[in-house]
Amino acid sequence: MLFCSFLAKLAYMLKFGRILRLIGFSMMVLACDKVDEPSREIVFGSAFVADVRASELTTENMSSFGVFATLEEDGKSFTDAEATLDPFMDNVPVTKNGSVWSANPKHYWPLLANKKLSFFAYAPHNASSPEIDPAADWDNKNVKIDYKVHSNPLSQVDLCVAKAVLDKDSHLDMDKPVELEFSHTLTWVNFAANYIGDVPEGCFLRIEELELQNVLDENVLVHSHATGEDFFSWSDFPDGAQKDGKYLLSLNNASLGNMEIVQKDILAANPEYTDFVSARGYLYLLPQRVNSPEDGVRTEMKVTFAFVKNDENRTVIAQFYTTKELPESEWNVASKVKYCFTIDVNNVSLINITPIAQKWIEDWTESGNTHTDQEIR
């Protein structure tokens, strides 16, 4: 009797244990199904307005940009004071594959609920432009970019940043690309010239070289999470900054692989100016105040020009140079400044060069960027 009772209890326990094992197995399967659920790759869309020497970059021909991103827990927003911002992407290059912009290496949306991602982007990626040095500063909820203008005009880039894209939900937004809208951060500087007076008979006047001297060439850009037009700013005048940048445009600079100055006859003032700088010779420079009263170092341009025979060999019969301060002015973000100057060839010992910044006809607004053109006299 006791033996039969023992067998009955044993059978019950085995049956109950089997049920528990089945329940445990089912829960494990469900958990595995949750872990193995496929996530979506994070991809990007972009409205691109960047530009470099080789070609004007657009969404269609841009090669890469860099992305920083944070992960916000518990449904918090990026701007919440108590939000914990976990680094999610750290200067990850994004490249275009067909019609899709994807990170390299690939990154995926988090599967768990109540997760949000926020994105900051700049272009071009610093792997191809070492003068760009970006770093996240999540304690202050921004990205900082140390930027030094390349001394070689052909190697200067059009540094752009995109408005921050905040609080993308890991479930609601994973099926859509992260749309980025980039804007210019620099000033585009170009030159033109004419002359007054009498050029020697049988000759024309040609610009040989132009060197811009004593220019601020290094600064820090703060890329904030603001959603308005003022979502980035340059430091007013960073500690230790020196106005010692020099940029040489030359007719005969073979080391640059192409002429920045084209071989053109400079026309007499009428009052039109001759554009003597090629498309490869315009300068991308830092926004800055130029020759304000408190500036100890004056920004100047040194111009070398020549009288050249109008023959097959274009023989130089005389060469001169002069240096002139630029007028007090402001180089604004995303503005195009063109300095036009007049050479008085009747008094080469006292060359009269008057720099003028005129409006550019071309406008970056057609690329989605807003700015105010500058006119300086």
User: Between residues 23 and 195, which one has the greater pLDDT?
Assistant: 195
How sure is the predictor about 60, in pLDDT bands with cuts at 50, 70 and 90? low
- At residue 106, what is the residue type? K
How large a percentage of the chain has pLDDT more than 90? 33
pLDDT tens digits, 131-151:
999 999 999 999 999 999 999
Given a contact cutoff of 8 angstroms between Cβ atoms, the answer to whether 308 and 316 are in contact is: yes
User: Between residues 259 and 230, which one has the greater pLDDT?
Assistant: 230
Class of domain 187-216+241-367: mainly beta
How sure is the predictor about 260, in pLDDT bands with cuts at 50, 70 and 90? low
Given a contact cutoff of 8 angstroms between Cβ atoms, the answer to whether 222 and 76 are in contact is: no
Taking 90 as the threshold, does the pLDDT of residue 38 lie above it? no
Predicted TM-score (pTM) of the model is 0.80
Q: Which of 198, 204, 194 is nearest to 345 (CA)?
A: 198
132-137 and 116-123 as β-strands: parallel, antiparallel, unpaired? unpaired
Residue 372's pLDDT is 33
Interval 238-261 mean pLDDT? 66
**Would you kindly state where each structural domain of the chain is located, as residue ranges?**
43-184, 187-216+241-367
Taking 90 as the threshold, does the pLDDT of residue 178 lie above it? yes
Lowest mean pLDDT among 24-33, 109-118, 192-201, 220-229: 24-33
Tell me the three state secondary structure of residue 105: coil
pLDDT tens digits, 289-302:
898 888 788 999 99
Interval 274-290 mean pLDDT? 85
Instruction: Return the bridge partners of 340, or none.
Output: 192, 356
Q: In which residue are the tokens 């004007």 written?
A: 56
User: Between residues 346 and 135, which one has the greater pLDDT?
Assistant: 135
How sure is the predictor about 345, in pLDDT bands with cuts at 50, 70 and 90? confident
In this structure, what are the phi and psi dihedrals at residue 8, rounded to the nearest 5 degrees?
A: -65, -45
Lowest mean pLDDT among 28-42, 68-82, 143-157, 331-345: 28-42
The Cα 351–Cα 341 span in angstroms is: 11
Residue 350's pLDDT is 53
How sure is the predictor about 176, in pLDDT bands with cuts at 50, 70 and 90? very high
Residue 142's pLDDT is 97
How sure is the predictor about 238, in pLDDT bands with cuts at 50, 70 and 90? low
